[in-house]
A and B are shown apart, each in its own frame.
Chain A
Amino acid sequence: METALVGLIALFFAVSLYLLLSKSIIRMLLGVAILGNAVNLLIFTTGRLTAEIPPIVPEDAYAPIQGSANPLPQALILTAIVIGFAMFAFLLVLGYRAYQALDADNTDNMRLAEPEDAPRPPLSY
């Protein structure tokens, strides 16, 4: 099971890195979304995969059943999903605004903050 998940994580990372290396903002956004999922799966896997017993204390007991799943990675992933969601939403709005305001989806055409024909520094001291 671990091996399969590791393969999937590697695939996710490869896809997201490929997309993030693109010049188009939309592709980069897709890369961001997939990267978030890759990281979440990684957390899930490093938390060790155990039997499918939910980490919930049964009603008539005071301790979880032996060998139940590790709840901490689930809490971490939930947090990471929420944060990743906020981040993605922000970047999406930003990309949309960049498309509207700069008329550019291609990062090569976004040279407003760092103009290509920037003046040379003055020679005087």
Chain B
Amino acid sequence: MNTVIFRTAAPILAALMIMFSIFVLLRGHNEPGGGFIGGLIGASGIAIYGIACGVDAARRALKVHPISLAGLGVFLAALSGFLSLPAAVPFLTGLWATFYVEGAEISLSTPMMFDIGVYFVVVGAVGTIALTLEGGEDD
């Protein structure tokens, strides 16, 4: 696993995968894609980096423990439900806000926020499991 080719390619590959995962996450809004598969791709990126450069390097590169990312995700998902409270609609009802920036339409919505939450939960949880299995650190 520790060949020069793999170690050289892995950081680039990981960066590409994380970028692609964000693309898949945002694409999931109207087309196939979404938080779950985006998160899986992102977590695979972390896992590949961990395999190539060592688990410690991967943890350092992440800055925060992946499980904190999962916490952020749960928090965001729950928060997206609470936004319905001031709008006087039931929990988790989709709310939309549309902006026009230089003629381009940008729609922000609570389903998207929920999806971003799912993305973080998956990246965090799967990333934690992958790094645990790779490193054998007791967790």
How many contacting A-B pairs (Cβ < 8 A)? 13
Q: Is A63 interfacial (CB-CB < 8 Å)?
A: no
Taking CB atoms, residues of chain B closer than 8 Å to A82 are 36
Taking CB atoms and an 8 Å cut-off, the chain B residues in 70-86 that contact chain A are none
Q: Is A86 interfacial (CB-CB < 8 Å)?
A: yes
Main secondary structure of the interface of A (DSSP, over half): helix
Q: Decide: A96 near B36, CB < 8 A? Known: A86-B125, A89-B126.
A: no
Interchain CB contact under 8 A, B129 and A93? yes
Taking CB atoms, residues of chain A closer than 8 Å to B125 are 86
Interface residues on B, range: under 10
Taking CB atoms, residues of chain B closer than 8 Å to A86 are 125
Q: Decide: A100 near B133, CB < 8 A? Known: A82-B36, A89-B126.
A: no
Most interface-central of A86, A90, A92 (chain B CB within 10 A):
A86
Taking CB atoms and an 8 Å cut-off, the chain B residues in 88-139 that contact chain A are 125-126, 129, 132-133, 136, 138
**Bound CA span A93–B138, Å:** 10
Contact string, A85-125, partner B, CB cutoff 8 A, digits 1/0?
01001101100110010000000000000000000000000
Closest A residue to B40 by beta carbon equals A85
**Bound CA span A12–B85, Å:** 45
Shortest beta-carbon distance from B114 to chain A in Å: 14
**Bound CA span A72–B132, Å:** 35
**Bound CA span A93–B36, Å:** 21
Taking CB atoms, residues of chain B closer than 8 Å to A78 are 36
Interchain CB contact under 8 A, A93 and B136? no
Contact string, B15-45, partner A, CB cutoff 8 A, digits 1/0?
0000000000000000000001000000000
Taking CB atoms, residues of chain A closer than 8 Å to B138 are 97
Closest A residue to B122 by beta carbon equals A82
Interchain CB contact under 8 A, A100 and B136? yes
Shortest beta-carbon distance from A57 to chain B in Å: 12
Shortest beta-carbon distance from A54 to chain B in Å: 11
Across the A-B interface, give the 4 residue pairs with the lowest CB-CB distance, nearest first.
A89-B129, A93-B129, A82-B36, A93-B132
Task: Give the interface of A toward B (CB within 8 A).
Answer: 78, 82, 86, 89-90, 92-93, 96-97, 100
What are 13 A-to-B residue pairs whose CB atoms are below 8 Å?
A: A78-B36, A82-B36, A86-B125, A89-B126, A89-B129, A90-B129, A92-B133, A93-B129, A93-B132, A93-B133, A96-B133, A97-B138, A100-B136
